[in-house]
Amino acid sequence: MWQLSSGVFLGWSLGANDASNVFGTAVASRMINFWTAAILCSVFVIIGAVVGGEEGFETYNNLSSSSVDVAFIVALAAAISVALMSYWGLPVSTSQAVVGALVLVGLMKNDLDTGALTKVVICWLATPVGAAVATIVLYYVFGKLMNLLSPSLFQYDEWLRAGLVVAGSYGAYALGANNVANVTGPFVGPGGLSPLAASIIGSAAIALGVLTYSRNVMMTVGKNLVKLDAYTAFIAILAEAVTVHVFALIGVPVSTSQAIVGAVLGIGLVKGVRTINRRTLWRIVFGWIGTPSISAAIAFALWQAFSLIGLV
């Protein structure tokens, strides 16, 4: 099935842009080296996708019924837009890219489910806000716990390093469970793939993106937006993981980029708004707004081209 090639490309783009965010703050704080983070992220993305990745497929299939040719258009448009943003070093939402293309296709076919779209958009808005709130709560809860335990400096360093590994692995698991539907979800509806096959292929493509092209975006979130120490990096990763996992259970694929940015901004609010790099923040917001628009524009061009040759 040649159409699946665009889904694999999209998975690679997602891994390069989104999946790295579950370890970005840990790497930027120099508590974990990049390759350890990339390997752990890849392994747990695959586990999360296989164990809990099926819930999100139904949500995307409700947005618009499609053939495998239309699924190819959706995945390719989303992949190109996310790859462009990765090249520019911007963490963006693969969910927004996919839905932007799906909405365009739904409008062209006149079968867009606005109810499903509303649910997705509400969850998009809730993701960074929820992550920021979770960050503030976890920051003070774990702060009080550390004060009660009163670890030595050596213990404190070792506990945080272990915490970053556990939180990052959990975040990668949640990423796989939540976002694999972004990659191969459009190919499940037409009957081209079973949910299990879609989970395996999609997560493997995501893992490849993490291993080959994720460092650039990892540094944008983990280093350039707010300066983080080991403790705040741990809190941000844990808050992001909890947020994304909640939406995975709901069955709505959301963006780990939006979750980790919301979490890092939560750290900024705790430490003082002046610590937030507003220039980097505005670049990220631009990426969020531009991603679904660019994806929809590419999908429209591909739709017109495929219409000329009679594939849609």
> Tell me: the pLDDT tens digits for 102-157?
889 888 888 777 777 787 788 888 999 999 999 999 999 999 999 999 999 899 99
**Low-confidence stretches of the chain (pLDDT beneath 50):** none
Crossing angle of helices 153-188 and 68-87, rounded to 10°: 150
Q: Is 174 in contact with 248 (CB distance < 8 Å)?
A: yes
CA dist., res. 80 & res. 96, Å (int): 13
- Give Cα separations from 229 to 30, 265, 276 (angstroms): 9, 14, 14
What pTM was estimated for this model as a whole?
0.84
pLDDT value of residue 225: 58
Phi-psi sector, 183: left (phi>0), alpha (psi -120 to 50), beta: alpha
CA dist., res. 283 & res. 198, Å (int): 33
CA dist., res. 30 & res. 244, Å (int): 24
Residue 83: phi and psi, rounded to 5, are -60, -40
- With 0-12 / 13-18 / 19 or more C-beta atoms within 10 angstroms meaning exposed / middle / buried, residue 85 is buried
Q: Which letter, b or e, does each residue of 129-166 get, where b requires 16 or more Cβ atoms within 10 Å of its Cβ?
A: ebbbbbbbebbeebeeeeeeeeeeeeeeeebbeebbbe
Task: Determine the Cα angle at 183 with ends 182 and 188, to 5°.
Answer: 90
Alpha-helix runs per DSSP H in the chain: 4-14, 21-28, 34-52, 55-63, 68-87, 94-109, 114-149, 153-188, 195-213, 215-219, 230-250, 256-271, 278-308
**3-class SS of residue 80:** helix
CA dist., res. 40 & res. 172, Å (int): 8
pLDDT value of residue 168: 92
pLDDT value of residue 143: 94
